[in-house]
Chains A and B, each alone.
Chain A
Amino acid sequence: GVAPLGPQPLNEEHKREIRMQESAFNHVPQPSDSERLRLYMPRNPYQTAQHFPQVPPPHSDTVEFFQRLSTETLFYIFYYMEGTKAQYMAAKALKKQSWRFHTKYMMWFQRHEEPKTITDEYEQGTYIFFDYEKWGQRKKEGFTFEYRYLEDRDLN
């Protein structure tokens, strides 16, 4: 740039300001400073090679995009990105794929077949569920899904 009006020496106050600003420059705020704590996947900024994608693909924050992800990816997002928009999107995508969340076991269930019994309080039959401790899908026969543990809020 240019200084059309000519340079003007800084006064003492401005020199003090610039000194404080320069020292603050040595530890400028990082993105994580103004975000909720991420326990499992904290931000870890690193300069990656330029030919590597620097930004995620466009529209990767839509339900349509999340529905194209594998169920395992959705489960990963659900359990490891708690309290984020991504978790919300993952839950939405799972619901659309007929997975239901069990609020007592904190696991996702899907009917493997039509339930053998359905009442006002529960249904019973064979279910697939995702075990977040063993990290895999399991089958459970004769399981009773009590509706009071069914997470049925509208995600909209």
Chain B
Amino acid sequence: MSINFKNVTYIYQPATPFAHRALSDVSFSIPEHSYTAVIGHTGSGKSTLIQHLNGLLRPTSGELTVNDQLITTTTTNKELVKLRRQVGVVFQFPEAQLFEETVLKDIAFAPKNFGATPAEAEKIARKTAELVQLPASVLEQSPFELSGGQMRRVAIAGILAMQPQILVLDEPTAGLDPRGHQEIMELFAQLKQQQDLTVILVTHQMDDVALYADQVIVLEEGKIMAQQTPRKLFSRPEWLHKHHLDLPHAAKLAFAIQQQSNFKFKELPLTEDQLADQLAKWLPKEGSSN
């Protein structure tokens, strides 16, 4: 049930003057129930990579397996429909996908497409709306009357209503305010816990990577530069700098503290909590020595 890429290459518009190689010879695997972050520059192939996960794109060469389903160059669309139900993809700015007359109908759209009866679909939709903290009063409204943040929630609920086993998030909180960002990220983390999901997150926010991910895949120009735990990755600031990537804020501060004092962190703090914990143990000693 894991995800496995084997020498996957993808070329946009092959054999034209516009041919563009977005992925070259990519191999990696993602274990079940893990939280994987995919990071890399704009245009490094992240979005191309995740479109392979539910068969929107088929590799130009190579093959991959997602949930025991083999996807090769010749896999037909029909075989992929089954897969799309198991892999929910929240695209960038997903509110662009809303179209139904009411919020409820829009959330129920995917379950209906995958064979639920209207009554079942509505039940799932109500439950999912509650899950993403949409007030019951908006359910009968048109999705186009809502605020940006609420539209985002409706769109995300529309994906969660499919009850996927693998959840793919392409910058799900881009353009949201800090509070909305935190709420949505927490929601995904909670869902992963409760439903044992496999989560794949594409993001530019290193703080989220540090906070949630078990492993990180670094992409650059369609190639995999690294696949490791966040801790290992962020302990190499020079390497990150060379690949134009940033550190989480906590780690940045930790490195700065180490540089300007004789304090040594036992292990690199990745989140504010870890940073505060280690500093708290240190401070009283400083105080008593004075």
- Are A and B a genuine interacting pair, yes or no? no
B interface residues with partner A (beta carbon < 8 Å): none
